[in-house]
Structure formats: structure tokens, C-alpha cells
Structure 1
Amino acid sequence: MKIFYKKLFSIILIFVFIFVFLSMIGCSAVSKNDATKDIKFSASNTTSSETKPVGNVKNDVSKELKGFDKELVNLFSARSDSYENLLPNSTELIENALIKGKISREKAAVLKVISNFDPKRLPKEYVSVEPPDTAQYDIRYLINNWNKLSKETRSEVLPYLLPIDHPQSFFNLDKKKNKSSRIKLFEEAYAAEDNKLCVQEFKHDGQKFKILYYEEKNWSEKKKQSIKNTVSYIKESIIYSWNKFKSLMKIKPSKPFIIELVELEKKLYGLEWYEEGNYRIRINILHANNEKANKSTTAHELFHAFQDEYKVGYDTPDEKWLCEATAVWAENYVYPNYNLEHAWHPRFFKTLDKERIGAGKGFEYLSYMFFYYLTDYAKTNFIRDIIKTAGQKGAKSIRPFLENNIPKLKETYSTFALYNWNWSPVDKYYDYGKITGGPSGKSFKKKIMRVEQEDKESVLLEPGAMAYYLYLFDQQDLTLQHVTITFEKSIANDKYLKRKAILKIGDKWVVEDWSSEVVKQYCRAKTDKSENIKALILVYSYANFKNKMKEPDKFRVETGKCNKEMQLSMKYDYTYKVDSFEWKAEGTLVETLEIKDHFYYVVKNSKYNFSGQGFIDGKKQIETSGSASTSITNPDIYNSLVRILKKPSTSKEGSKDIYQKYGAKENIPPQGMLMVIPPLLKEDTLKGNTTFYFPEPLRTINLAQPLPLDGISQIVALIPDLNDWNPKGINISKSIDVFKYNCPLKNIYTADLGKIAEQLDSITGIQDIDNSIKLPDSLGESFNIGGQGNINDLYSSISIINVVKDAMMPRNKTPKGTAMLKIKLNAVYTKYYGEK
């Protein structure tokens, strides 16, 4: 037993010695001539790198979804708006060290190459259980800067780039055998594991192809056959893919191919680059005898060679995106029923919030779905043209090309976003089987709406990004009868932005374009159930590939009982100044409004009171007060006044009369309009009195009717802001420059203003005073004041009255002076349909 342990200890010492020795010699055996060889490469790869999405994993939401139908339960449960946090991989650890200045760009590139090809050599601080990202772009960086690299760096990375039959290639098994056989203990073992270089050459369409791999003698016949099968698959794929690509691209690769079967990091399937004089392709031998993987990978890498013929670069994220996205697309183009590209779907669906054109962490690969949609659904195939353009004009041409060549850009891209929902009623994707998955993560938000809740969102998208908002409306709470979706503005005229809605109304799904909408309202209490909304998905798409949205599109979703009545209270203060005259008025308006069809609120009963005083040089000249009231049993647009007017949710025939009456056919603002003019119907009159304070000895004249100099008659309507509305009603506090205010309905109240004007002119005494100015001899008889007083003073007072009258009435020209109106309004919902 002691002898055994001694031998075991000796063996361990030998292994330690081997490890130290190999670490010391590393790749130092590369000759100076080989290490400094001037090589021109253009590398590319195929990977299956992906993170782990939480999407499609059911959350514990059974209690929340009680009462919902099975389809909505599955929909809500399968779509996640969060991610599973993953540990950083080697690539991220290296990149973080670079950002912090711990290592140079050159050193970072070397470490990333090692992480792909020889991860056991990585320093401990960069080791991770997560698979690394591809080092293809770092290889290109090293190759493009070869003459600038240090000798040490070139010596370290060159073995990974040399052909496998080169004596100093990392993949040369003879090199590994010879190096290891320096330890006598292992000479006999390696003799048994002798290997040979296998080469198969063939020609196709005038081009030469050479496939190389090492076969070890100790392999089983089964393994040897599996490698031979892989060689056959590669050859078949080259011939089959070549013919399809040649027809598509109108060009063919002009140099011979060297194709090598080597062992790569498991997640890496293949690499392609151009070395002066040859196209180089490497296929991962770990996936040997997998027909679909071998053929699909070969097609991918071969397509890169066709791209290279058009001189497309790999220096920028845009070029990487184009080349890798179209190469994955090419896999589907050649082998549509293999579906290996489906491995990218989980990451595709959870990165819809990102800029559509970019590279890193496999984003360029999963972006094949964009070209898959264009060719297979939008019936637009410009693969050759965009690659050719990028080769001729460079990376800066890619985004403009997409914008200029996608037909009906905004609509086509909006449909792409709609299809990416990938659920009823737009589960359109079908690629030899259903494409699974859907928006998740940051591109997706979901919420179950209860009664009297609201959700506010601000949508700000990256270039080419998409956003999805899912709302389910409580099915058990019968008091949740009213759903309102309010948008800050219409986006119909936006060149790139579009919003669509997927709704479940009753048992049916519908899709609608809501780009021009500002308000959508649904009443689930309707007996015909035509507005029984159960679910809503808002789908945003932004077809601008160059710039982020300048400002967000804001919207709000509200739920509540089905509102029937609103109690409104308004208080105002009005000040008018011209020359030495100042007019001050204040008033209140208290009303009960009945809500008709959700979008117009008519006056059911109203009480209006005001009072005002006019001063000349600080001395009171006029004083007036008045009131008006009205009450209507069954108010509607024909027998009452509309206090609040909103845009209806649909184009209803009954709304035509309302629009025509208020002159607001298509110009209703997003948040509606609030009419502030007092309610003066045909049968209504202002009740009150007016007192004129004339110069002594005329003293005062009392009139039995009021002058409604309240300041609000010329405003007519206000436009509330989005924040003025809330689930319980509306609150407004505004200061308005009356003469500068651009009223949205300034030309529609001619009848009501005419009535006020008629009432002003018919007030007993004013006409007599006007006549008295013209006929001074009759002045005393008219007012029984004995002909006393100064006619000029009297005329000045009457002129002031006329100035105030003119200021109050709308005119084509702005009146003289200044007029400010302060309004405070509070309105709350008080009754709901269905209540007794």
C-alpha cells in the first residue's frame, strides 16, 4: 500500500511538472518568422449563444387571474416582464476589466480569443461557468492591427489562426504529440494514439474545395464514420447552398476554400474568414454527425464568402449586424425545414426594446427575424442589393437603404411589430412549425386592472424598437364597467411612429390602428355587450433606424364605474383695464352634468352668479350683479348645453349633429373641451340689476337688469391638459389672457352671444341715455333731474359703458386694454349607470 501511495505521489508530481512546463513553453515554439507573418484575415462565426429568458415560464398568478378565461390566463402567465439574472461570462469579465483600465484593448482581445479556443489558460479572475461570447470581432481587431501588435501578442494568437496542418497551429495534433512526447513517460501512450491528417478535395462550379481534419488511430470505427459523414454533409451543403446563393446574389466566390474540422468551444458552431488567396471555414467537430447542424452551419459560413465577394466590412456594429443577420437568414433560405435558427427566438423576443441595428451578445444573429419577416411575409427580398450597397458605400449606407427600400415603411414595420406579438389574433409566424415565444422583458409590460384604477405610461423608443402593453380587465368585479384609454396626442402624421391595438371584446379578438386616436372608451354595462372589453394590447413600433424618439408618447388607461352624472363647481375672477378705467368681476357656476355616451356632458341643472364693479381713476362708476339658472328633466344636445365635449371612441352616426352644432368635426383636442360660457338657452334670461354712478348732481341710475360683464363670455371653451383629468373627475386652475387666448370654438356661439348682445342693448335706460347725449334738451325729462349736470362728464361715463360692452363681445380686432381671467374648477363623478 505504501508503495502504491509513493507511486501515486510520483505521478502527481509528474503531472504538476508537465503543467508547469507546458505553461512555461506555451506557444513560444512559434518561430519568429511565423510569429511576424503578415496575414490578412476577415473572420466570422456562427454561434448559439443565448441567455435564459423567464418568458414562457408561468408565474404564480393564479389568485390574480381568478375569474379570467383560460386563454387570458395562459396569455398573462406565459409573458414575463422580467429577466432571470445570469452570472457574468468570461467575455463580460474581460470587458469590465478593460473599461476599468486594468488591461489594454490588445490584452482584452487576446483573453477573449483564449476564452473561445483554450479556456483553461484563462486567468482565474476571468473564469465563469457561463459560456463566453464569440471572439470573432476581437480576432478581426487583432488581424486588422497585426503590424501594430507587440511580438508577444502575435506569438500568442497566431497558433489559433494558422491552418491545422501548419506545424505551429494550435489545432495541429502532431505538434501536440511531439510537444508532449518530450516527457518519456508518455512516449508509449502517444504512440498508441497516433493520428493522420485526412484531406478530401473536390471541385464545384469551377471552384476548388479542400476539407481537412485529423483522425486518431484510437478512434472507434463508429466515430471515424461519424466524421466521414460530417465531411459528406459539408460537401452536400456546399454544392446545394452554392447554387441557391449564386442565383440569389448574382455572384460567386472567386477564391479556393480551405475547410477545417476542429474542436471549438461547444457553443461555437463555425467560423469563416478570408486569408489572402483562400476562403477559410472552420466547423466544430464536437457537433460531428449532426446532419442538420453541419449543413446549416456550412450554409451560414458559405454565405459569408458570398458577402465577402461584395467587399462588405466587419468594422462597425451595422456591418456585423447585416452580415450575421442575413447569414442566419440564409440558413433558413437554404434549409427552411431544419429550424435550427429557432434557437435564437427566446432572445429575439425579449430584445424588441433595443435598437434594431446593433451587435453584441448574439444580437446580430437573432436579428435574422427581421429579414425573415421581410422576405416571407412582406414579400420584399433585397438581400443582395443591401449587401452590395454596403460593400460599395460602407456601413453608413445600411440604415438609409432600409428606410428607402422597405415599401410603405411605417405600415410594414408596424405589421412586423404586430406579428412579433405572436399570439391570437396575430399568431402569423409559421416556419415548418409554429414559432414560439413573444415579447418579454423590457419591451413588455403587463397589468391586471381593477375598478377605479389608472395606469400612466410614457413610451420613448430606441431606433427601430417596439413596445407592448398588456392589460387585463377584472372579470369578477361587475362594478368595473367603464374603460378609458387616453393618448396625449394623435401620431397619425408621424413619419415613423405607429400604435396598434389588439383587443378582446367578448369572445372575439380584433386589431385596430390607433395612431390617430386620442380617446377610446368602452362601457361594459351595455346590454348588447359590444364594448365588453376583456383584454387590450397596445403595440408601438418606431420605424426610424437612425434616431431615438425626440419626445415620448404618453397614454393613460383608466377603469371605473360607468359614469352617469358629474357635479361641477367653477369660480372665476376677471379683471379688465383700459386707460383710467378698471373693471373687476367674480362669479360662480354650480352644475349637475349628465354624461351622454361617454363623450359629451350636458347641463342637467345650473346655477350661475356673478358680480362686477367698474372704476374710473379709482372711483366706482358701475356696479352690477346677476344670476341665471336652468333645470332640464331629460337633457340632451337639443334641449341643453354641452359643458364638456370629448372625441367619441368610434365614428357614431348620432355624433354628427353634435359636431355640426359645435363646429368641432375633427378638431376636438386630445383631452376634450370645457365650455365656460354661462348657460343661456332661448328661454333663459339673466336676473339682477345694474347701478350707474354718474357725476353729481345726477347721482345714480338703477337698472332692473344686469350687465353680464363677467369676462368668460368671450372665452367660450378651454382645453384641459392630460393631468387635469383623474379617475374621479377633473381639476383645473388656469390664468388666461383673454384678448390673446385662441379659443378652439370661437366662432360657434353666435346665437348665444347674440342673445347677450340683445339683452345688453335692451336694458331699460341705456338707449335713452344714448339718445339723451344726442338730444341734451330732453335729458332732464328723460331722467327727471331738472337739466342739471355736466353733459361732457355724462358722455364720458356712457363711453366707458360702451367700451366695456365692446370688450366683452368677441370682435375681429383685439379690444384695447388688458383682460385677465382666473378660473378654478373642480368636477367629480357622482352617479353611475345602473344605480337607483
Structure 2
Amino acid sequence: MKLFYKKLFAFILIVIFIFTALVIPGCSFGNKQNVEKDNKSLLSGISISEPKPIYNLKNEISKELKGIDKELSDLFSAPDDYEELPPNSTELIEKALNEGKINKEKAAVYKIFSNYDPERLPAEYRSNEPVDTAQYDIRYLIDNWESLSEETRNQVTPYLIPLDDPHSFFYPGNKKQNKNSVSGLKIFNEALAAEEDYKVNVEEFTHDGQKFKILYYEEKNWAAEKKQSLKATVSYIKESIIYSWDKFRPLMGIKPSKPFIIELVKFAERLYGLEWYEDGNYRIRINILYANNEKLNKSTIAHELFHAFQDEMKIGYNTIDEKWLCEATAVWAENYVYPDYNLEHAWHPRFFRTLDKARIGSGKGFEYLSYMFFYYLTDYARVNFIREIIKTAGQSGSKSIRPFLEKNTPKLKETYATFALYNWNWPPVDKYYDNGKITGGPSGKCFKKKIMKVDEEDEVSVSLNPGALMYYLYIFDQKDPTLQHVTITFEKSIADDKYLKRQAILRINGNWVVEDWSSETVKQYCKAKTDKNEDIQALVLIYSNANLKDELKEADKFRVETGKCYKEMQLNLTFEYNYSVPGFEWKSKGNLIENLEIKDHCYYVVKSSSYNFGGEGFIDGKKVVETSGSASFAINNPDIYNSLVRILKKPSDNTEELKDAYEKYGIKENIPPQGILITVPALLEGVVFKGYTVFSFPEPIGTINLSEPLPLDGISQVIAVTPDLNDWNAKGINMSMEVDVFNHKCPIQGAFTVDFNKMAEQLDNIGNVPGIGNGIKLPDSQEMKDALSFLKENNMENLFNLGNQGGAKELSSLNAINAIKNAMIPGKIPSKGSAKLRITVDGVYKKYHGE
């Protein structure tokens, strides 16, 4: 539709009704105070209406955060939900359109009213909330002009024609005097003001072969300062056109091919500019409310001029994808041209609180704040395909945008995951810097938070919109010293997923680290570890969906659990030992009650021990030896050097501090995950073994009573056993087994180099009597020495030398001792014989770290 006909429709309307048109109410652009106020509001991020955070009462939050350090308190203070504000006029109109109450044509008319003349809106579409731009509705009406109703053309024409046309809504000679309603349609009377009261100014210039015309008006009674403000604004516009043009042309590889008409007019607050193409001209409008704001005026021109470059590449505007791409790249262009202005930072609060939404969308400024995606790509991922994606969208249409992003984003999954990581924007990934630090971080529905207390559990099912990001913050109660265990369990590994990524940011012992947890199913931490490499204080789980087309429903499930960390175990070990060879049998039983201190979950060292046993030896059913003994000790600060390890589990990943300790045991290979239970009694240096032994020697010696025990218990030669995984439970360890001593494969032999003779020496109450027989170890008591001297004097030494165990027809009492000794220290196994050890172990956790 030619502009002439549009003017004609407007003129006929005016003549028929003989009404007056409107003139712009008094403008505030010349008021320096107001300009500064507007600029301050913009730079402080109040360019759009913000939802209200509803994160409880302030004093309740303070109470919850009491005892938590400032860094974590700041993180936790980010609101995780919002009270949605009332819908703006744009949303009310869209809702009516979607419900079929109005058609698209009527919706476009109403949106133009909302931008320029909100009082003309029907009451049900009015709102005090800032509106969205109507520039795409203007484009729709212009492109479909011939099919529009006459009523629609008459309604919108005054808002489309330039302000230097006397029939323009913005023409300064028109003043709003009264309003009438005819059949529900508001009609305006027209009264032309005297021409000497105002002046329409036109400034024209040419750049790079293209013509530009800037239109604005001034009233003659305005103060000189006010007039100067307008001239300054025009100067800013011209400077920005030239500067931005010269930036965009090499970037885009083309230039707009039609002249520009640029107008300074008044429209809705917090709308800064509009752009469209009509009748051979690119049209740009700048909101006169923000005149004389140099940075805002220049940045707005850069934005709107970039739209013209987009139009030249024939990009559409009807779909969400096209609007998203147009506005996101236009805001990006502001930053590209004026990187140090940072006006686009005003979008950051809303950007960080809408990361859970589909990455491609529009409404309430979402398409504008999405510039951050392209900012990340160009400035951090070092990928700039701005020209290519706009060209592709212009040639192939809206449906090409998402496939283009998926195909042309290098290592899509990883790149998008890094985008998610950088959007945390707190240590250790506070990397965003745009001529000044970009502030803010995830909030709203994309951000979930919880302070975990001891013995608590939180289970989460994760679903992600197309291109959405989610952040889950857990702070582990710093006030409760008993909270020492943290376990995070995932439903599955997602390492092979094409789009989904799971990352973790952790604060460990005051230091932040980043880890990829996509392949993990279980992560466990113990804050009680001595090297503090598992002192987890906070955890942020980040999920990213690089699929811009499809929602991922129930993409993952995870559970975070906290618990206490056991420091000590009360252990009760009982045993029965039966050793039998032809003609000789030894039976013993005993009990070991100990308090074990748990060191770094890896080894349970004896803190205190109470040990007792009793044994009897029989030759052909006749008791020839009987013994009983006990020992006890306690150590205030036991460790692997000054006590005995009772239970040894798989070492922690960081064994550097335990290197010497494990070398003492000669580590050679991994310990079974269920651990090793060492059976040898903890007879440490200086421990006194009290008890008695009775020998029944042949006459003339007879019975000898010794005031010391012969600790031939049966458990010492076993050295160690491996519990079954089922032997462990939440309360400790409970196991029962029978060991075939002669065929037992001691797990220590596989994991340690062990001096078994040293183990025997640990039973230090078995003395060595050199020169007697084969140097058999016997109780080194005066009674035994007297008996041995008697045997020697009476030529009865052969009692010591009846051959290897099992090799003699009959065994004397001393040979019984010899046989027991050989059974205690693995060596030659008798050809006929057996040795069975029954062990029952009951270990119960009794103390926690932090108590």
C-alpha cells in the first residue's frame, strides 16, 4: 500500500468526523534531572519489571544462615522462586488471541495502541506493567496491508506515517483535546496549532552511499537547554549510525540498500526504539523520553540499525525462533559496537533467573536477554557465526535456526555445558568480564537450594526444557560437627548422552573445584579425614541440555544424603581352635574385647584390648598340658605405628601421608573392598601376659605349675581373614566363619610381606632355651629351667627329639609343645591331621567424629 493512500484514509477519517488529533504531551527530555534518573534506572538493571522474590522473611533466612560463612551465605541468599507480577498489555492481548476472542489483525492494532496510545486500549487489555515492542506487529500489518479491513487501516495509519506529515499521530501541530466513543471505537478531534508555535526539524546526511533523514520537532517556547538536548541527541544518533554502520558492514558482508527515516517521538516507557521496513525506507524510531542520554541513544541506534542489516538479509519475524534470533543478536550487536557501555547488562537479572526456560523463546524481554548465549559463543567459545545464522534464516526460514545452532556449535554438548558452567558466575567460574565484571548468578526456578543437616536426605528428579540449565546448591551444616558423611547417588551414568551433561562445583576445605560427574553413579565424602581432602562444605550440581528442540523429561534422578562418621568401634572376637594329629589333640578357646579407633576409614587401630584364652593338650585322650592367660592394655592416641591394626580397609585415594605406615605392612596390591580382619592378638611391647601353665611330665618330674601362660591360642597362625561383603552393616561388622588352618590362604600374604616369625615373637612369653634339644621355644621360667636341667642330668633329652610332628609313634608332653609350636608358625603340614578355627566377630560403632 502506497503511503499516499494511507494518508488519504487518515484525511477522510478526519474530515468525516471533524475531530481533532493528538499532540504529544509535555516531554521531559530536556530535564537533566529526569535524564539522569532514567539513565541510573537503566544502568541499575531496571529496564524491565522484575518479579518479586518470595524467599521467606528476612529474619528467618538470617536464622537459617547463622553460623555459615559469608561466601556460602551470599550464594544461599539468591532467591529460588518468584511471585509473578500481573501480565502486561502484550500478554493480555496474546491471551485473548490464543483463546480466539480476537484475531491476529485486531491483536496487532491493540499492540500498536499499547506502544503509542495505551488509553485507546479496551479496559480488559490495560496494565501498568511495561509492554513488549510492537515492531513485529507493525511489520505484519504492513506486509498484509491489502488484506486488512478498512477500519484497521484507518486505526493504524496515523501511527505509521512519519511525524512530518500533518496527519501523523506524532505531528506536533496536533493536540489531544477530547475523546469520543462511536460504536466502541475511539475517535480523536483534530485542532491544528498555529504553525509559529512549533517547528519540525529535518537533518539529512549520506554515509557509505546511503541517505539518512532524522526527524524531530521542537516548540518555540521551550527553554534553550531543552532545545540543546534535542540537538545533542540528534548528534548522538548521527555519530552512532556512522560508527555502527562501519562495524556491521564487514561483519555482515552486506549493507542496507534503502534510505533511512529516523524519528524522535514519544512512546511507552522502557521501550527505547523500534525498526521496520516500509515503502522503500528503513524506519527507525527513538523514544524521545530518553533524549540526551548519550550512551542509551547510541546503543539503541546500534540495536535498531542491526535490525536493518537483518532485514536486508530477508530474515522473517513471524515465529518465536525468528524474533529470538533477531533480538538476541541485535542486543549482542550493541555490545559489539559499544563494548564499554554495558547497557545490555540491564538484562542480566532476568537472564540469570530464566535459565530453566527453553533457550529459544520470546516474551517479557526473553529474546533480548538471550544475547548472553551469543556473547558467550563469540567472547568465550571463540565462535562467531552471527552472519551465517542470520543469512541461513533469511534463505531457509525459521525452521533452519535450531538445526544451524546444533550443527555449527563446535562440540555442542561440551560447549553448551561450559556455557552452563560460566553462567554460575560465582567462584571458581566467575569468568564473565565485559569491560567490568558481570554480576549475578542463577536464581528463580532454575536455582534450587537446601541446607543439609545431619541424617537428612534430598531426592530430586531432573527435567529440562530444550536448551535449559538447572542449578542445585547444597550447603552442609557448618554448625553441626557430627555431620561428617555426604553421599551423592545418581540413577545412572549419562556420559554417553548426546546432549545431557552433569557437572559439579564443590567447595572442599575452603577451596573450589570443578568436576565432570556425567559418568558417576556414587560420590562419597568424609569430612573427618585427616588430610581434609574430603571436607565437603558445599556442592553445586549443574545440568545442561544442549538439545534446543526437545525437552528431556526425567533426564536424571539423584539423592543427596548426610550422616555421622563413626570414630570408634567396640569389637568382640571369640574363637575355638581344634588341632589334631595322630595321637595328639590340642583344644583352645578365647575372647578378645577391644575398642578400635577408626583412622580415615582405612584402618581400625587398637585403642584398648582385653584378651583371654585357655588351652588343653591331650595324648591319646589324656591331658598332658593346660594353659590359661590374659593380657590388656590401653593407648591414648593409637596409630599405625604404636598399636596393631585390627581391621584394614582399602586405603583412600590420597595415601601419601600413610605411605610409611602401609610400607610397614608391605603393601603390594589392593586390599579387598570389604577389608581384612587381622586375628593375631595385640601383644605389644611392654604388655604383660598374665596366667599359668601346667605340664604333666613323666615321673620322676611329674606336674610342673608355671606362673605364666603358654599362649598357644590358635588364632595367631591364621594371621588374617577376609570378611564377606554381607558381614558389614550400618551398625558395624558381624561375622562367623570356620577356617581350615592348614589350607587357609591368608589375605595378608597377598597384600603384605609378613615376617611370620616376628608374629611368633610377639607371643613373647614363649622363651628360648638355647642348647636344649633343637632350640625349641619354651616358657622361660625358673621352674621350666629346673625341669630341663633335671632331664639333662638324667639322660632324658631324647624327650625333645621324637622327630617332626606326626612322625613319631608316641608323643611326650614336650613333643606336644613342639607340635603346637609348629602348628602356630606355618611350615610343614602333617600328612595326617587337621586344624580348625571357628571365629565369631561382633563389632559395633560407638562414637562419632565431632562428638
Q: TM-score, normalised by structure 1?
A: 0.63
**2:646 aligns to what?**
634
User: How far off is 1:416 after superposition?
Assistant: 1.1
Does residue 149 of structure 1 match 2:134?
Answer: no
Separation in 1, partners of 2:511, 2:111: 53
Query: Per the alignment, do residues 112 and 717 of structure 1 end up closer, same or farther by CA in structure 2, a change over 3 Å counting?
Result: farther
**1:171 aligns to what?**
170
**1:118 aligns to what?**
117
User: How far off is 1:400 after superposition?
Assistant: 1.5
User: How far off is 1:148 after superposition?
Assistant: 2.7
1:487-566 aligned within 5 A: 487-563=490-566
**2:444 aligns to what?**
441
1:660-739 aligned within 5 A: none
Instruction: Decide which of 412, 424, 430 is 1:409's aligned counterpart.
Output: 412
1:243-300 CA-to-partner distances (Å, cap 9, x unmatched) read 1111111111111111111111111111111113111111111111110011000011
**2:130 aligns to what?**
131
Query: Per the alignment, do residues 123 and 177 of structure 1 end up closer, same or farther by CA in structure 2, a change over 3 Å counting?
Result: closer
Query: Per the alignment, do residues 381 and 633 of structure 1 end up closer, same or farther by CA in structure 2, a change over 3 Å counting?
Result: closer
Separation in 2, partners of 1:268, 1:244: 24
User: How far off is 1:834 after superposition?
Assistant: 4.2
Contact 1:354 1:462 in 2 (8 A): yes
1:167-206 aligned within 5 A: 167-176=166-175, 190-191=193-194, 194-206=197-209
User: How far off is 1:354 after superposition?
Assistant: 0.5
Q: Which moved more, 1:495-504 or 1:122-131?
A: 122-131
Contact 2:339 2:434 in 1 (8 A): yes
Separation in 2, partners of 1:225, 1:376: 38
Q: Secondary structure at the match of 1:294?
A: helix
Instruction: Decide which of 241, 249, 252 is 1:246's aligned counterpart.
Output: 249
Query: Per the alignment, do residues 190 and 150 of structure 1 end up closer, same or farther by CA in structure 2, a change over 3 Å counting?
Result: closer
**1:8 aligns to what?**
none
User: How far off is 1:650 after superposition?
Assistant: 8.8
User: How far off is 1:349 after superposition?
Assistant: 0.4
Contact 2:249 2:255 in 1 (8 A): yes
User: How far off is 1:100 after superposition?
Assistant: 4.0
**2:224 aligns to what?**
221
Contact 2:241 2:301 in 1 (8 A): yes
Contact 1:481 1:559 in 2 (8 A): yes
Separation in 2, partners of 1:407, 1:448: 37
Separation in 2, partners of 1:141, 1:650: 66
Separation in 2, partners of 1:459, 1:372: 27
User: How far off is 1:55 after superposition?
Assistant: 9.4
1:364-419 CA-to-partner distances (Å, cap 9, x unmatched) read 10000111111111111111111111111111111111112222222211111111
Aligned-pair identity (%): 68
Instruction: Decide which of 298, 320, 323 is 1:320's aligned counterpart.
Output: 323
User: How far off is 1:27 after superposition?
Assistant: 9.2
Separation in 2, partners of 1:351, 1:193: 52
Separation in 2, partners of 1:682, 1:30: 111
Q: Secondary structure at the match of 1:64?
A: helix
Amino acid at match of 1:152: E
Separation in 2, partners of 1:56, 1:244: 44
Does residue 212 of structure 1 match 2:219?
Answer: no
**1:70 aligns to what?**
70
Q: TM-score, normalised by structure 2?
A: 0.62
Structure 1 unaligned spans of 5+: 1-24, 33-45, 181-185, 568-592, 602-631, 639-646, 665-673, 684-715, 719-724, 731-750, 753-826
Contact 1:253 1:306 in 2 (8 A): yes
Separation in 2, partners of 1:150, 1:828: 89
Query: Per the alignment, do residues 430 and 56 of structure 1 end up closer, same or farther by CA in structure 2, a change over 3 Å counting?
Result: farther
Query: Per the alignment, do residues 219 and 441 of structure 1 end up closer, same or farther by CA in structure 2, a change over 3 Å counting?
Result: same
Query: Per the alignment, do residues 178 and 439 of structure 1 end up closer, same or farther by CA in structure 2, a change over 3 Å counting?
Result: closer
Contact 1:521 1:648 in 2 (8 A): no
Amino acid at match of 2:646: N
Query: Per the alignment, do residues 236 and 553 of structure 1 end up closer, same or farther by CA in structure 2, a change over 3 Å counting?
Result: same
Amino acid at match of 1:403: E
Query: Per the alignment, do residues 497 and 319 of structure 1 end up closer, same or farther by CA in structure 2, a change over 3 Å counting?
Result: same
1:736-751 aligned within 5 A: none
Separation in 2, partners of 1:190, 1:339: 42
Does residue 269 of structure 1 match 2:254?
Answer: no
User: How far off is 1:537 after superposition?
Assistant: 1.0
**2:296 aligns to what?**
293
Does residue 232 of structure 1 match 2:235?
Answer: yes
Separation in 1, partners of 2:12, 2:473: 57
User: How far off is 1:651 after superposition?
Assistant: 11
Query: Per the alignment, do residues 462 and 600 of structure 1 end up closer, same or farther by CA in structure 2, a change over 3 Å counting?
Result: farther
Separation in 1, partners of 2:340, 2:540: 32
1:743-822 aligned within 5 A: none
Amino acid at match of 1:634: R
User: How far off is 1:102 after superposition?
Assistant: 3.4
Pick the structure with greater CA Rg. Answer: 2
Q: Secondary structure at the match of 1:173?
A: coil
User: How far off is 1:189 after superposition?
Assistant: 11
1:333-353 CA-to-partner distances (Å, cap 9, x unmatched) read 111111111111111000000
Separation in 2, partners of 1:729, 1:488: 27
**2:91 aligns to what?**
92
Contact 1:310 1:391 in 2 (8 A): yes
Contact 1:49 1:133 in 2 (8 A): no
**2:480 aligns to what?**
477
1:503-531 CA-to-partner distances (Å, cap 9, x unmatched) read 11122111111111111111111222221
1:671-720 CA-to-partner distances (Å, cap 9, x unmatched) read xxx99xxx99999xxxxxxxxxxxxxxxxxxxxxxxxxxxxxxxx999xx
Separation in 2, partners of 1:469, 1:174: 59
Structure 2 unaligned spans of 5+: 1-9, 18-41, 180-188, 571-595, 605-643, 681-723, 734-744, 747-841
